[in-house]
C-alpha cells in the first residue's frame, strides 16, 4: 500500500484519530471552477469522461486549486447503463437522457453483461493516470450509482417529477424490478472491484433517488442491493461510503449495510444521526450546498454549526449535503475548506 502524504480522509473513514476534520466536496471537479470550464470548451461531457487525460486533469483541479483532502475520479454514474447497451445523451440544462428507456421485459433481457476492465476501461485508465499525477498527495475516491438509482434513470429516461414509471414497475411487476436490480448489482460489483484494482483508495455509492421510496420499499428495492454490493467488494480494507440521499428512515439498517461511512444530505441534523448510528460508522456531510451563495461569514458560521452538531472526536468527514452547484464562487468554496482546516482541530484535542 502506498504511503499517502495526507491520509486524514482515510483515517476518518475508519473512525481512527485525526488531528483535524478532513474535507472534500461532492462534484468538486465540476462546473463551478473556471479552469474546468476551459477544459470543457475542448470536449463535451461524455467525451471528457471517456478521455483519460481530460478526466485526470479535472480530477486534480480541486486538489491543486482549493486544497481538498481527497480527490474523486471525474466520471458519471450512468456510464454503467451506457456500457450495458443503452444510448445516453447529456443535454445542457436538462441533464442525462436515455432516449430509449427500458419499458419491457425484453428491454431488460437485451442489456449486456459487462466486463468492467473492457467495457469501462477508459475509467480505469483515468484512475491509473490520476493516481500517477496525484503522486500520493491525497487519496482517490472511485464511485458508482446504486442499482436503484441507476434503474430509476434507465426506466424514467432521465430526471422525473414523480417517478411514476419506475414506481409503477415496483408495484405492478416487482419480479421484473428485481431481475433488473440483480443485473445492475452484478455490474456495479465488477465495476467497483476493477476500480480498486486500478488504484482507488476508497469507494462511494450514490443512492441519489433512495429518498423517493417509502421506508419499506427502500429496504426492498435499494438497501438490499447496496448490502449485496458491499459484501462482494473483494478488498475488505477499502473504505466504503454510502450516500442514501433524502432517506430519513432505517438509519440502523443503513448503518448495518457494511459501509464504513454514511453520507448525509443537509435535511437531517448530523448530531442527531450520530446519536443513532455514530457508534457504528463514520459520518460524512452535511452543509446545505446553497450556503455557498452566502457571504463568507455566514458560510463559516454554518460550517461551524455542522461541526458543533457532530461534536468532538473522530469519524466526521466534512462535505456538502449534495454536489456543489455550478454557479458557486470558487472563493467561497475555498473559504469553507480553509475554515474547516483551521477550526476543526478543536474537536480533535483528545485524539
Q: Which residues does the annotation mark as catalytic? A: 27, 31, 40, 76, 153
CA distance 86 to 154: 8
φ/ψ of 244, rounded to 5, equals -90, 85
What is the rounded CA–CA span in Å between residue 2 and residue 252? 34
Our separate counts of H helices and E strands in the chain read 17, 9
Are 199 and 138 spatial neighbours (Cβ–Cβ below 8 Å)? Answer: no
Question: Quick one: cell of 75?
Answer: 466520471
Q: In terms of DSSP bridges, do strands 261-263 and 282-287 run parallel, antiparallel, or are they unpaired?
A: parallel
Burial 41-50 (b: 16+ CB within 10 A, else e): eeeebbebbb
Nearest to 262 by CA among 278, 279, 243, 245: 243
- Are 156 and 101 in contact by the 8 Å Cβ rule? The answer is yes
Among 52, 54, 74, 71, residue whose Cα is nearest residue 62: 71
Going from the C-alpha of 195 to that of each of 5, 148, 189, 217, 240, the distances in angstroms are 21, 20, 10, 30, 13
Contacts of 8 (CB under 8 A, 6+ apart): 18, 19, 20, 22, 69
How much of the chain is helix, strand and coil, in % rounded to 5?
Answer: 50, 10, 40
| The three grid cell numbers given for residue 157, joined into one nine-digit string | 429516461
Alpha helices in the chain (DSSP H): 8-13, 34-40, 45-50, 52-65, 79-83, 105-110, 116-119, 121-134, 147-156, 164-172, 174-198, 215-218, 224-231, 251-255, 270-277, 296-310, 330-343
Amino acid at each position: 500500500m502506498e504511503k499517502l502524504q495526507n491520509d486524514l480522509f482515510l483515517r476518518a473513514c475508519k473512525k481512527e484519530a485525526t488531528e483535524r476534520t478532513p474535507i472534500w466536496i461532492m462534484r468538486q471537479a465540476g462546473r463551478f471552477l473556471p479552469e474546468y470550464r476551459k477544459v470543457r470548451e475542448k470536449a463535451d461531457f461524455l467525451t471528457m469522461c471517456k478521455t483519460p487525460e481530460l478526466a485526470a486533469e479535472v480530477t486534480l483541479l480541486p486538489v491543486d486549486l482549493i486544497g481538498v483532502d481527497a480527490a474523486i475520479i471525474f466520471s458519471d454514474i450512468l456510464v454503467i447503463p451506457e456500457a450495458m447497451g443503452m444510448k445516453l445523451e447529456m443535454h445542457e440544462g436538462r441533464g442525462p437522457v436515455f432516449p430509449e428507456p427500458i419499458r419491457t421485459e425484453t428491454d431488460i433481457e437485451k442489456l449486456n453483461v459487462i466486463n468492467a476492465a473492457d467495457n469501462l476501461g477508459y475509467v480505469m485508465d483515468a484512475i491509473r493516470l490520476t493516481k500517477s499525477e496525484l503522486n500520493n498527495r491525497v487519496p482517490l475516491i472511485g464511485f458508482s450509482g446504486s442499482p436503484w438509482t441507476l434503474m430509476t434513470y434507465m426506466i424514467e429516461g432521465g430526471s422525473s417529477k414523480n417517478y411514476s414509471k419506475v414506481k409503477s414497475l415496483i408495484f405492478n411487476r416487482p419480479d421484473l424490478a428485481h431481475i433488473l436490480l440483480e443485473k445492475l448489482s452484478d455490474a456495479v460489483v465488477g465495476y467497483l472491484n476493477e476500480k480498486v484494482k486500478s488504484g482507488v483508495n476508497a469507494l462511494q455509492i450514490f443512492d441519489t433517488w433512495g429518498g423517493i421510496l417509502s421506508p419499506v420499499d427502500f429496504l426492498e428495492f435499494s438497501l438490499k442491493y447496496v448490502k449485496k454490493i458491499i459484501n462482494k467488494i473483494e478488498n475488505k480494507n477499502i473504505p466504503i461510503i454510502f450516500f442514501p440521499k433524502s432517506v430519513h428512515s432505517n438509519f440502523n439498517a443503513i448503518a448495518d449495510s457494511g459501509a464504513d461511512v454514511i453520507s448525509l444530505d443537509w435535511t437531517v441534523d448530523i448530531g442527531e444521526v450520530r446519536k443513532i448510528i455514530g457508534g457504528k460508522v463514520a459520518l460524512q456531510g452535511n452543509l446545505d450546498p446553497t450556503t455557498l451563495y452566502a457571504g463568507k461569514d455566514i458560510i463559516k458560521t454554518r460550517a461551524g454549526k455542522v461541526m458543533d452538531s457532530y461534536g468532538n472526536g473522530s469519524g466526521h468527514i466534512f462535505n456538502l449535503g449534495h454536489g456543489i452547484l455550478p454557479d458557486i464562487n470558487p472563493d467561497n468554496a475555498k473559504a469553507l475548506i480553509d475554515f474547516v482546516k483551521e477550526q476543526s482541530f478543536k474537536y480533535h484535542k483528545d485524539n
